[in-house]
């Protein structure tokens, strides 16, 4: 029986994962905005990754919807909308889903699955995350420029998704403690605002110590809050998670030598937050740095560096600067 999967939120991640699943034989239904429907109708859908994988779907092979009520019967629904849209999407999904569908949240942040469960208490809702970046390159093209896996809360039936993703070479893992995984991923995602405010490709930004020192300060505050909350961290990179700030602080020549895996990416890869600012969209900074600030406050700690960077991103959303040098950014958030 063909695996039927719905992608709710056909943006960069949604289009990439949906195409990868269809590459593996799944029947995929995309739900997204009219703008994306028009783009894919004109150009088709094309995915690629930094290893050299390429796959294209002509427009005639795509099932794309713009209304929740038009979605067909599905086995899984993968939610990939921005965190700020989760509540609205959950409310609409609750009116159309069947009891047999399993919902997977593949979103940034740590609270999206809980929000989906609250709106759909009788549904099976699984937490998940994607550890790689996808850049929308226009004309229906989506490129995964960094390494990483799709990780989903352990549950029955996920072997079918794993098998479908295998065709594209997309690693798939399951984990029982997704709270730990999501907070560990959030630590890595704290580079998203740094990258967005540098206006540089990820590899160029991470190759400069001043930007890495900014990230190290953000992660140090986050690790203090995570430790206070007694949340274990998972190793999602070649560098042990607790050691990330120390490695990031190394001089460039040592970092380049010891952390080569962290720089294993395409030279044009960018963060999703950079893409949001580039396209004039609201960012997910409240669901990244904002979550660190909230967790720290909950445990009697402060997170001033995350707070200052959050303010700079909000200013950029309103047309403010987003081309800071590493030294400028470091001075602004550490004083």
Check residue 130 and give its pLDDT: 94
Of 311, 304, 305, 316, whose CA–CA distance to 286 is shortest? 311
Q: What is the pLDDT of residue 275?
A: 94
pLDDT of residue 1: 76
Domain ranges of the chain: 4-176, 181-334
**Structure token pair of residue 26:** 């799944």
pLDDT digits (tens, 9 = 90+) for 103-155: 999 999 999 999 999 999 999 999 999 989 999 999 999 999 888 899 999 99
Are the C-beta atoms of residues 289 and 193 closer than 8 Å to each other? Answer: yes
Q: 102-106 and 124-130 as β-strands: parallel, antiparallel, unpaired?
A: parallel
Enumerate the β-bridge partners of residue 77.
Answer: 6, 103
How confident is the model at residue 235, as a pLDDT? 85
Whole-angstrom Cα distance, residue 80 to residue 51? 23
For 204-218, b where at least 16 C-beta lie within 10 A, e where not — what string? ebbebbbbbbbbbbb
Q: Which fold does the domain 4-176 belong to in CATH?
A: Rossmann fold (3.40.50)
Residues facing residue 145 across a β-bridge? none
Given this model, what pLDDT does residue 268 score?
A: 85
CA distance 105 to 130: 10
Rounded Cα gap, residues 260 and 8, in angstroms: 35
Contact 193, 313 (CB under 8 A): yes
Task: Give the SS3 label for residue 249.
Answer: coil
Amino acid 240: pLDDT: 82
* Helix axes 191-198 and 304-317, enclosed angle (nearest 10): 40
In this prediction the pTM is 0.93
pLDDT at position 236:
83
Domain 181-334 -> CATH class: mainly alpha
Measured distance CA(117)–CA(60) in Å, rounded = 34
Q: What is the predicted pLDDT for the residue at 262? A: 76
pLDDT tens over the chain, length 335 residues: 799 999 999 999 999 999 999 999 999 999 999 999 999 999 999 999 989 999 999 999 999 999 999 999 999 999 999 999 999 999 999 999 887 899 999 999 999 999 999 999 999 999 999 989 999 999 999 999 888 899 999 999 999 999 999 999 999 999 999 999 999 999 999 999 999 999 999 999 999 999 999 999 999 999 999 999 999 998 887 778 888 999 999 999 898 887 777 777 888 889 999 999 999 999 999 999 999 999 999 999 999 999 999 999 999 999 999 999 999 999 999 97
Nearest to 275 by CA among 99, 82, 125, 110: 82
Question: Looking up tokens 């998670």, which residue turns up?
Answer: 241
**Beta-sheet pairing, 45-49 with 54-57:** antiparallel
pLDDT 10s digits, 288-315: 999 999 999 999 999 999 999 999 999 9
């Amino acid at each position: 029986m063909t695996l039927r999967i719905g992608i709710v939120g056909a943006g960069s991640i949604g289009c990439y994962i949906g195409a990868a699943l269809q590459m593996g034989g799944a029947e995929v239904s995309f739900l997204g905005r009219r703008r994306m429907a028009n783009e894919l109708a004109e150009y088709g859908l094309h995915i690629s990754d930094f290893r050299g994988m390429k796959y294209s779907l002509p427009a005639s092979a795509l099932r794309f919807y713009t209304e929740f009520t038009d979605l067909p019967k599905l086995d899984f629904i993968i939610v990939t909308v921005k965190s700020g849209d989760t509540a609205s999407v959950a409310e609409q999904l609750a009116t159309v889903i069947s009891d047999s569908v399993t919902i997977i949240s593949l979103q940034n942040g740590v609270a999206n699955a809980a929000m989906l469960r609250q709106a759909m208490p009788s549904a099976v809702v699984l937490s998940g995350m994607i550890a790689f970046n996808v850049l929308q390159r226009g004309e229906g093209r989506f490129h995964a420029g960094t390494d990483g896996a799709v990780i989903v809360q352990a549950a029955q039936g996920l072997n079918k998704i794993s098998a479908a993703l295998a065709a594209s070479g997309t690693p798939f893992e399951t984990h029982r403690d997704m709270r730990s995984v999501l907070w560990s991923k959030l630590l890595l995602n704290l580079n998203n605002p740094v990258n967005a405010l540098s206006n540089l490709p990820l590899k160029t930004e991470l190759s400069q110590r001043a930007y890495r020192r900014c990230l190290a300060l953000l992660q140090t505050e986050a690790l203090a809050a995570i430790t206070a909350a007694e949340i274990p961290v998972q190793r999602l990179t070649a560098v042990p998670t607790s050691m990330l700030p120390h490695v990031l602080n190394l001089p460039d020549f040592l970092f380049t030598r010891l952390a080569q895996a962290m720089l294993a990416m395409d030279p044009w890869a960018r963060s999703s937050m950079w893409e949001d600012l580039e396209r004039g969209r609201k960012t997910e900074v409240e669901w990244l740095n904002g979550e660190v600030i909230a967790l720290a406050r909950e445990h009697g700690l402060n997170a001033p560096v995350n707070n200052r960077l959050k303010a700079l991103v909000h200013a950029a959303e309103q047309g403010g600067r987003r081309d800071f040098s590493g030294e400028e950014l470091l001075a602004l958030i550490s004083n």
